[in-house]
Amino acid sequence: MIDFTEFMLEQNTDFLYFYQYPSYILVDSLTGSSLPQSFFINSPKTMVVFKSNDANADAGFSFNYYGVATGVSEYQDASMYISLNENSFPVLTISNFPSGEYSVELCDLTGRVLFADQKTLSGANDRIEILYRPENAGLYLISLNGQKLSRTLKFFAR
């Protein structure tokens, strides 16, 4: 979690960017003088980039970063892989995830959400068809996020 204690940047000139790392998905882009709300980054690592035109010296920023390790040993048997069905849609095959509600997202590397849905997993073996076929060849990310366990896979579309 990112929790700001101070924030004062030159509006539309100085920017603070937060990325998931190593996927480089942009999580937030901040500028101006309003103290941002706290937010979460669903990634084991975070990359922070500050860009300034160096024209004015505003107060800057200060924030706290809180990391939480979840699912480290409790769900070691949980697995997920991607395949394509006969219609060339990605399909997630999921095993041994905790039962419950999950959000499913397919994103490009800019962080743009191309597909999103909510699914209920049984806790045993589940399949989720992602009804989106990427138009362009490239790397995409498919995330499955639940209350107890979250995973992200890279997906290369040809």
Domain assignment present for 88: yes
Q: Please tell me whether residues 84 and 135 are part of one structural domain.
A: yes
Q: Please tell me whether residues 99 and 60 are part of one structural domain.
A: no
Q: Please tell me whether residues 86 and 141 are part of one structural domain.
A: yes
Q: Please tell me whether residues 104 and 128 are part of one structural domain.
A: yes
Here the CATH number for the domain that contains residue 140 is: 2.60.40.3080
**Cα gap 3→18, rounded to integer Å:** 12
Number of independent structural domains in the chain: 2
Last residue of a domain, one of 65, 88, 105: 65
**Cα gap 119→18, rounded to integer Å:** 28
pLDDT (tens digit, 0 to 9) for every residue of the chain, 158 residues total? Answer: 788 999 999 999 999 999 888 788 888 999 999 999 988 887 777 889 999 987 877 889 998 887 655 544 577 788 888 888 888 888 999 999 999 999 999 988 888 899 999 999 998 899 999 998 888 888 888 999 998 888 888 888 87
Q: Please tell me whether residues 83 and 153 are part of one structural domain.
A: yes
Whole-model pTM? 0.53
51 is in which domain, residue-wise? 2-65
Q: Please tell me whether residues 85 and 148 are part of one structural domain.
A: yes
